[in-house]
Amino acid sequence: MPKVIATKEDWIRKGIEKFAHSGERGLIIDQMSKELGCSKSSFYWYFEDRSDFIARIVERWSEIATEDVIRSSSAPENVVERITTMLKHMFSATRKGDFLFYLRKWSEESQSFQTELATIERTRMNYAKELFVRAGMSSETAESKSFILYHYYLGWYERHKNQRIGEEELRLHIEQLRMQLLGL
């Protein structure tokens, strides 16, 4: 039987999946190695220890859930379309577990993760603020609306995280948000 070698990215993807569903206690190296079909020693080829692993999965999750969304939302030339794209990304991402919840919980025990979480959330709100300013709002109004939008999103996700959101429901929700945020 050929030897299976899991890549660093395989481990990180599996870690994101496990963390999103069980938090830090779901990151059982032996169990994940079985699911990846490799020896658990391969884990140590890529990561110094469990803390390093958690740092890498948080870093990768942030790239996917924040930086990629910002990059994708920045593509349209029209600022209203940029805002609409950002909202679509935010409110269509359900059924993906509770990564942010578990990160918030883990950050209560770890200063470095508390700092990382604050950076992620500030980046998200700053991006929304930047879009709102480009749409013609004052910096103060844009800051307030980005704060409200982000915290609304956190509550909305908690209520809808296990639901599949249909295209029409998403479209109506985005329209309502655009009306409230931009008056459009």
Does residue 175 register a pLDDT over 80? yes
pTM for the whole structure: 0.90
Report the C-alpha gap between 1 and 104 in whole angstroms: 42
**C-alpha distances out from residue 60 to 143, 153, 165, 171, Å:** 27, 21, 25, 29
Q: How many CA atoms lie within 13 A of 63 on its CB side?
A: 9
Q: How many CA atoms lie within 13 A of 18 on its CB side?
A: 21
Does residue 4 register a pLDDT over 90? no
Residues 6 or more apart whose Cβ sits within 8 Å of residue 105:
23
* Model confidence band, residue 12 (pLDDT cutoffs 50, 70, 90): very high
Q: Which domains does the chain have, with CATH numbers?
A: 59-182 (1.10.357)
Task: Output b/e per residue, 122-145; b: 16+ Cβ within 10 A.
Answer: eebbebbbbbbbebebeeeebbeb
Write the pLDDT tens digit of every residue in 90-148: 999 888 899 999 999 999 999 999 999 999 999 999 999 999 999 999 999 999 999 99
User: Per-residue pLDDT averaged across 39-56, rounded?
Assistant: 94
Tokens matching residue 109: 């025990």
Number of Cβ atoms within 10 Å of the Cβ of 64? 14
Mean pLDDT of the chain: 94
